[in-house]
Amino acid sequence: MSVNTIAINQRLNRFDGHEEIWLFGYGSLIWKVDFPYLERRPARIHGWVRRFWQGSHDHRGTAEAPGRVATLIAEPNAICAGMAYRIAPAVFDHLDMREKNGYLREVVGIEFKSGETVDGLIYIAGPENEAFLGHASDAEIAAQIARSRGPSGLNRDYLTHLADALRDMGEQDAHVFAIERHLNAGLAI
């Protein structure tokens, strides 16, 4: 079921009076940069893994046939690579709209490649949100992605853009790359 987190995120705020905030992106926020930023830097976070466990009813699927997009699942000792953007708080008006289907802004510790750390914000769609789909096998996830499309386009484009962006950054993600292999194998049949 689709949800709308805009009002909750505006109430949560989390800007803490800052004029600039670091945002960590791990999914489409890595490769679809439709917002202004002051600076961006490859970065990583600890204690989270990227999983295609969130339903997309508004971008890469529909209410009747949701696609699958990335969220983060807590896992001790895990590391998730992504892109950090330094942005003005006003940019969150746009981002809250874009991420409205279940994602809430959380505070996260961001580590840059230099080893320097900073607190920033992240959008996470947790297991309690109504659009959450949860675990499925890599093959099942790939099959759902292969047949899904929504107002923002084909679900498989989301997956392949993300896989390409991670490769460009020199990063590995076994989950993303395994789904990509299934997707490519299915398309070749």
Which residues contact ligand SIN by CB under 6 A?
A: 25-29, 69-70, 99, 123
Q: Which listed residue (19, 20, 75, 99) is catalytic?
A: 99
Does residue 99 carry a catalytic annotation? Answer: yes
Return the number of the residue (25 or 182) whose C-beta is nearest ligand SIN.
25
Is residue 189 classed exposed, middle or buried when 0-12, 13-18 and 19+ CB atoms within 10 A define those classes?
Answer: exposed
- Helix (H) / strand (E) element for 75: namely strand 67-87
Return the number of the residue (69 or 145) whose C-beta is nearest ligand SIN.
69
Cβ neighbours of 61 (radius 10 Å): 26
- Helix (H) / strand (E) element for 140: namely helix 138-147
Cβ neighbours of 91 (radius 10 Å): 16
**Cβ of residue 95: shortest distance to ligand SIN, in angstroms?**
9
Give CA separation, 170 vs 81, 114, 126, 155, in Å: 10, 15, 27, 23
**Cβ of residue 103: shortest distance to ligand SIN, in angstroms?**
6
Q: How far apart are CA 24 and CA 152, in angstroms?
A: 21
Return the number of the residue (15 or 35) whose C-beta is nearest ligand SIN.
35
**Cβ of residue 126: shortest distance to ligand SIN, in angstroms?**
13
**Cβ of residue 123: shortest distance to ligand SIN, in angstroms?**
5
Return the number of the residue (22 or 123) whose C-beta is nearest ligand SIN.
123
Catalytic residues: 99
